[in-house]
Amino acid sequence: MKVGELIAGRYELEELVGEGGMSSVYRAHDAVLERRVAIKVLHEHFSRDSAYVERFRREARAIARLAHPHIVTVIDRGEWKGRQFIVFEHVEGENLKELVTREGPLPVARALELACQVARALAFAHELGIVHRDVKPHNVLVDPGGNAKVTDFGIARSLDADDALTETGTVLGTGHYISSEQASGERADEASDQYSLGVVLYELLAGEVPYPGENLMNVAMRHVSEPVPSVRAARPDVPERVDALVARALAKRP
């Protein structure tokens, strides 16, 4: 798909705004409701794989249940020229990674405010039996009003132990934010999202991740085996209670 193309006779692609391993995200114009939207399109080679298509469809079904002020709303889903797509509300602003890169460590109160908003969103999803499994600052959008919205439930899964698409021993998530149990190939649950949120909060406060590194497996193993670093060691003005909060979130045992 390319910029200028009209999808399903309704969504005109305006700009490619992001690209991942499984899909591309475009800003688009909804010609029916006269509004700007975001469209995630599954890559062509994955569209020929029934397992990936089912995962993509499951994402749409999962997010459609998540009506929450701090979760990006899904609007529509469909297929166009053999390519699966999902339509989301368009959130003006930037993601948390861009925010920290631009501003550096955030004021403690602001970092906690954003983390609490993300926590409320994840708690709501968990109540409905949905685990995100890829919580990271790239997947948290911040609108012009300063409100956080969690997006990209692309590898989310049901908490139902009978979920046929769950594969024990498969490492899912992003290296710098992955929980120790995910890094070990174990089943992710609500505590895994809490761990990843703890890493995000650490980064918002310290301006860097707790276990830096370029090699995915090396970083993952650091999450498994290395002691939890103190936020106060990187930033002494962080209150002890906040340091203890991050340490608890990053505990090795779920």
Using an 8 Å Cβ cutoff, are 91 and 141 in contact? yes
Strands (E) located in 98-213:
130-131, 140-142, 148-150, 157-158
* Conformation bin of residue 180: beta by default, left when phi > 0, alpha when psi is -120 to 50: alpha
SS3 (DSSP) at 226:
coil
Q: How many Cβ atoms sit within 10 Å of the Cβ of residue 40?
A: 24
Distance between CA 240 and CA 227 in Å, rounded?
Answer: 17
Side-chain-side CA neighbours of 40 within 13 Å: the count stands at 25
Is there a contact between 134 and 150 (Cβ–Cβ < 8 Å)? no
Cα separation, 63 vs 134, whole angstroms = 14
Q: What's the token pair of residue 222?
A: 């650091």
Question: Which residue, 6, 8, 2, 86, is CA-closest to 47?
Answer: 86
Question: Is there a catalytic annotation at residue 134?
Answer: yes
Catalytic residue among 30, 76, 134, 189: 134
| CA atoms of 201 and 13, how far apart (whole Å) | 34
Annotated active-site positions, please?
134
